[in-house]
Amino acid sequence: MKHHKCILFFLCFLLPSTGYLCAQEDFEILEEKEKWFKPDYFKIQYAGNIGFMSLGLGYSWCKNNIHTDFIYGFVPKHKGNATIHTFTNKFTFRLYTFNILNNYNISPTLGFSASFEPGENSYMSVPEKYPSGYYSSNSFYACINAGLKTNFKFKEERYFSSVDIFCEVNTLADYVYYNLKAQEDWDENIFSIAVGANIFF
């Protein structure tokens, strides 16, 4: 009788515990699956045809070789003759990483972005005052860039684990198209320098 009681007590204790452990494991797996939507880093950028100052969130793919950013940019009126807001989706590709003395690294990058600019400075359709077929709408525009970046890992991980510092040469895709179409010498004024950081969570 005592033997049966021991078995009964053991089953009553073991089964709920096993169920709890299994449920906990399932919850951890589910939690991992749900983490896909959480951004990997916070982005801040100065200039680069997407705003005087820009802030956003980004995702890292393929072992940190591809970055996808969702960015809000702002240009104050005293900088752009009008207050400008931009919303940008940016893609950056790391081509290679050169390690220097095992402590430093530098990576060449290529990228492109697509932006939407609502407001007074832009138009969805070309106003009638402009010649037909000469201008295109400027509410939506694309940019291409080439740059360099370096990554620093924090020794003590707290809120952030590492940071990318980057510098890019940027131009509007329309500028490239019109310069190629005109077959003239490239105007240096079509290029813009951007600097910024990706701060990884």
The pLDDT score that the predictor gives to residue 126 is 61
Is residue 85 included in any domain, yes or no? yes
pLDDT surpassing 60 at residue 120: yes
pLDDT top residue among 16 and 183: 183
Of 30-44, 53-67, 115-129, the one with minimum mean pLDDT is 115-129
DSSP letter for 52, please: S
The total domain count for the chain is: 1
Is residue 36 included in any domain, yes or no? no
Average pLDDT over residues 7-33: 47
Is residue 23 included in any domain, yes or no? no
Is residue 8 included in any domain, yes or no? no
pLDDT surpassing 90 at residue 199: yes
Nearest CA-CA partner of 80 in 41, 122, 40: 122
pLDDT surpassing 80 at residue 47: yes
Average pLDDT over residues 74-91: 90
Task: Kindly report the pTM of this predicted structure.
Answer: 0.74
Q: How confident is the model at residue 11 (pLDDT cuts 50, 70, 90)?
A: very low
Domain that holds residue 97: 41-200
User: 46 and 56 in contact (C-beta within 8 Å)?
Assistant: no
The pLDDT score that the predictor gives to residue 9 is 44
Distance of CA 24 to the CA centre of its chain: 33
Average pLDDT over residues 43-68: 96
pLDDT top residue among 175 and 26: 175
Q: How confident is the model at residue 37 (pLDDT cuts 50, 70, 90)?
A: confident
Is residue 177 included in any domain, yes or no? yes
Is residue 61 included in any domain, yes or no? yes
Is residue 153 included in any domain, yes or no? yes
Q: Write the CA distances from 27 to 20, 50, 56, 93, 179, integer angstroms.
A: 10, 41, 30, 34, 56
The pLDDT score that the predictor gives to residue 111 is 97
What number of CA atoms fall less than 13 Å from residue 10's CA on the CB side?
A: 6
The pLDDT score that the predictor gives to residue 8 is 43
The string of pLDDT tens digits covering residues 134-152 is 566 678 999 999 999 999 9
The string of pLDDT tens digits covering residues 84-107 is 999 999 999 999 999 998 889 999
CATH code for the domain of 192: 2.40.160
